[in-house]
Amino acid sequence: MTAKVIQLNMSEPLNIDLTAPEWYLNRELTWLEFNKRVLWEAEDSRTPLLERVKFLAIVSSNLDEFFMKRIGGLKQQLGAGISELSVDGRTPLQQILACYTVVKEIEAKKQQLFQDIKGLLFAAGICIAPYQTLSSEQQKHMRTYYLQNIFPLVTPQSIDPAHPFPFISNLSLNLLAGVSVLASDTPTLVRIKVPVSSKIPRYIQVGEEHLYIALGDLIANNLDLLFPGMHIAFCELFRVTRNAVTEKDEDQADDLLEMIESELRERKFAAVVRLEVSSTMGKLQSGMLAAELGLNEEQDVFVVAEGMAMRDLFQIASIARPELQDPPHHPLEHSKLLNAPNIFHAIREHGSILLHHPYESFVTTVERFVKEASRDPNVQAIKMTLYRTSAGTKIVQYLIDAALNGKQVAVVVELKARFDESANIKWAHRMESVGIHVTYGVVGLKTHSKVIYVVRQDFNGLRRYAHIGTGNYHAGTARLYTDLGLLTCDPKIGADLTELFNYLTTGLVPKRYFQSLLPAPKVLKNSLLKKIEREIQKHSSASPGLIQFKMNALEDFDITQALYRAAQVGVKIDLIIRDTCRLRPGIPGLSETVSVISVVGRFLEHSRIFYFQNAGEEEYFIGSADCMTRNLESRVEVVTPIENLEARAILRQIINTQLKNQRSVWEMHADGQYIQRRPTGELQEFGAQEQLIQLTHKRFKEAQSGKLKPAKVKRKQTHVKLGNAE
């Protein structure tokens, strides 16, 4: 929905109602706009070919989650008869229908790009081919492969009065076939699940070359093995998406772990929210499927010409063809830790060390921190929060080692981390089995903070060390997401973390006082609102105000409204927002001092930075929270101040590099649309992330050569110098 009023009569006194829905963009639609920007990376000829395939897969995976989480939630509201309007003035049904329009645009673009990219892949020696185009010898070879490796796993299920409609699992690929004894007979409908798994890839390689056929295509062209001597009237592909929003009331749960396990079982059988069918499927068949699945045939059925479930294209994108991929990126070891024999001594020497992943290594910083803590005889206790992790991350094993070494270890595991609940339950059981104190946070709140807290007996008494980050303790995403972290032994932060963990393990709130940290849900939102108000009060022509936020999302109404108020008095506001953004920039009299940009590149932007100029007494913060209502009011988050001058200089470099960049930046307009900046010269051809790779290498080399000078951070920024990267 575009703003009702974009141009205002500046000769009249401004009296803008900041609660009016026209000033706020829709959360779901702005998130879909983000996926349009990601899809552009698949279209952009400057992107290496296999990376273009990867971006097709990313958008497809994102849309699957969008239907499971966002559309699923809206449909629940619709089913419950909720008529409350969103901040931008839409009912649940209006939001669903508006989203469907945009999704269909994205899907049409995806299918067109898939055709184009397949042609480019073919020219590069990689071919995804229909089974029917294979030579007779290749077909014979693949039939033998199918019989030996796949056929025993295929189970046809008839759909007739004796065989009720089968259960269709979430995101599974399926074939709907019409089978009869004679061609003149009415065919019996048969469902065949395509057994894609970690053991059986979606795309089957033919011979030794990079020639691939889709698994469903292989099965469909060998149905005579399943139905010998029978007539196959048709065989079409379909897929369903189920609602993932099945959360129960924690207040009614005697055992949170048991409740989550029950919730996971229910999710498996949750209502279907989307049906995808091949474009060649008949209306009779697609209508029957929609009816059996309880869907509206006109609204909830999405026709796919080719390339259903493109998330499986991650397999093709990973083909080892370096010339068709981004140049390899190898995270650097942090210069302050490279030659340090003891990480705790290094932290104590420097006071605080800022980490920037994936430019700097997660393994040799964060994992090393926990590893040394688990083995250091002077470490007495380790506490941490765990939202998401991976089998490739060694942190859990180091925690187990610490417990076996006699240290006190306590871990707050978030069981409700969407789509990671099952994995987190397994991690919790494993840690409990060796004596680690595992708790599940505070009832009614998700623990989303990223904190490791270590108590060590130093030469002069107990000292508290910590890592506070913006990203999960997940080795895989640490190579793909841009995140920040702080290693520190600041006594105020240590004291605050003692309070935080006492809160997390007891749920008791009264009279907890935080000197330095801004935790949610009790402190962070009010603190941000007060700091925005302070910027308004201190703003003047002699000392213009400046607020800069870098986040994944700006969704919270109160924060958005406060930023509007700041912009109305002339405070300059720079927002680097990856996806959802409710605020409309550039509206005269309301937000003309606001710029909103989004950075899309080879890494997923995931770090959060909050900057307030504060009339020259600058403040920098990093942390786990976005400006979303759920983060600020329904989650335990931790945002920490950055006091170290060198760390502040790095944060300034990150912000300014992204604000200035001309290659990977999209600028938002008042109607919610984004326009990509276009470089005008060779020096502008590098994306923001590529520039940060170069700057990290430069900083590392300077540190190694001893040429790195102590950082100097200007106490005052002006509007003129905002765009300059340091």
Alpha carbon of 203 to those of 120, 128, 443: distances in Å? 18, 8, 44
Residue among 275, 211, 181 nearest 237 (CA): 275
CA distance 363 to 333: 9
Residue 240 parent element (H or E)? strand 231-242
Write out the E strands in 434-506: 437-439, 446-447, 451-458, 461-469, 481-488
Q: Which residues contact 184 (CB under 8 A, 6 or more apart)?
A: none
115-153 burial, b at 16+ Cβ within 10 Å, e below that, comes to eebbeebeeeebbbbebeebeeebbeebbeebeeebeee
DSSP characters over 577-644: ESS-B-BPP--TTTTTTEEEEEE-SSSEE---EEEE-GGG--EEEEES--BSHHHHHSEEEEEEE---
Residue among 646, 652, 653 nearest 703 (CA): 646
Q: Which residues contact 709 (CB under 8 A, 6 or more apart)?
A: none
Peptide bond into 521 cis (omega under 30): yes
Helix axes 256-268, 421-432, angle to 10 degrees: 150
CA distance 280 to 303: 9
Alpha carbon of 579 to those of 537, 555, 599: distances in Å? 30, 10, 9
Residue 495 parent element (H or E)? helix 491-506
CA 619 remoteness from chain centre: 27
DSSP 8-class letter at 553:
-
Active site residues: 448
3-state secondary structure of 708: coil
Alpha carbon of 515 to those of 347, 530, 633: distances in Å? 21, 16, 20
